[in-house]
Amino acid sequence: MSPTSQPGDRGVDKATRAAAPQARPVLSVRNLAKAFGSNVVLRDIDLDVRRGNVVALIGPSGSGKTTVLRSLNGLETPDAGTVTFADTATGTDLALDFSAKVSKKNVSDLRDRSAMVFQHYNLFPHMTVLENVIEGPVQVQKRKRAEAIADAEKLLARVGLSDKRDAYPFELSGGQQQRVGIVRALALKPQLLLFDEPTSALDPELVGEVLGVIQELAEEGWTMVIVTHELAFARQVADEVIFMDGGVVVERGPAAEVLRAPRQDRTRQFVRRLLHEF
């Protein structure tokens, strides 16, 4: 399950990453804006994600967090702003300027750089677990089926689901379905993993098993952006926390600072309500 596109970051803890020289971001977002009719959901959002780091987006429902995430994956088309993926392998960046017309190819290229883990799993109900995992690698990435199956079996073993290889989604618990969703994302070997409130649809007793997998990925050096209401988890795992409200960034900074000593009153109110601190 190691991030083959991100060598050298595995096993590096947050403190070590924070002390390291600041490398050029893998992903840079500038002035992202989006409105649905008269409803403005994003205003001038800036975001940098460095290789091997975890960025947590927090905030109340309707604050624009999921729209940011979907914009990074090409599932939503912003009205303005730029999204730039650095390509350290070729030296050629992928830069999309949404103030102008963006080609379908560029959107497809953007989507190829990342993989999304959805709030409600989004597994194909008519496919087995294995078929769900290999669908993207075989049909989209055109990898050999035997290779995709071998990779899928290793990933399923890694999250304790080898025995569910031939099961259908309706035969799985919510936690198991979400672990399959994570494996499906990993099977694409993306540069960036995106999580959209991955535990919000789970029963409380199942949350821990999914958060445990995500924490292991962070420790292995995967680059991630996570939308979450699990603030204690974000404080433990994230390198940077961004608090959004009303479509704008209210506060950002190291997780310990934002979640232990927020500077903004609005952030403090939100954190107090969810963590029962201060």
Over residues 240-255, the pLDDT tens digits come to: 999 999 999 999 999 9
**Helix residue ranges per DSSP H, the chain:** 14-19, 65-72, 104-112, 129-135, 145-158, 174-186, 204-220, 231-237, 255-260, 265-275
Give the C-alpha separation, 238 to 224, whole Å: 9
Q: Which of 95, 115, 90 is nearest to 106 (CA)?
A: 95
Identity of the amino acid at 46 = D
Per cent of the chain over pLDDT 90 is 79
Residue 2 has a pLDDT of: 45
Q: What H or E segment, with its residue span, contains residue 127?
A: none
Residue with tokens 């209210």: 250
What are the CA-CA distances from residue 239 to residues 120, 200, 256, 266, 269 (Å)? Answer: 26, 21, 9, 21, 22
Residue with tokens 């035997």: 146
Please state the rounded mean pLDDT for residues 49-57. Answer: 96
The pLDDT tens digits for 164-203 are 999 999 999 999 999 999 999 999 999 999 999 999 888 8
The pLDDT tens digits for 5-34 are 443 344 556 666 565 555 679 999 999 999
The pLDDT tens digits for 190-201 are 999 999 999 988
The pLDDT tens digits for 213-243 are 999 999 999 999 999 999 999 999 999 999 9
Identify any residues that bridge with 196 across adjacent strands, giving them in sequence order: 227
The pLDDT tens digits for 85-114 are 987 656 678 999 999 989 999 999 888 899
For 124, phi then psi, to 5°, come to -75, 115
pTM above 0.85, yes or no: yes
Residue 24 has a pLDDT of: 79
Supply the DSSP string of 53-96, one letter for each residue: -EEEEE-STTSSHHHHHHHHTTSS--SEEEEEE--TTTS--EEE
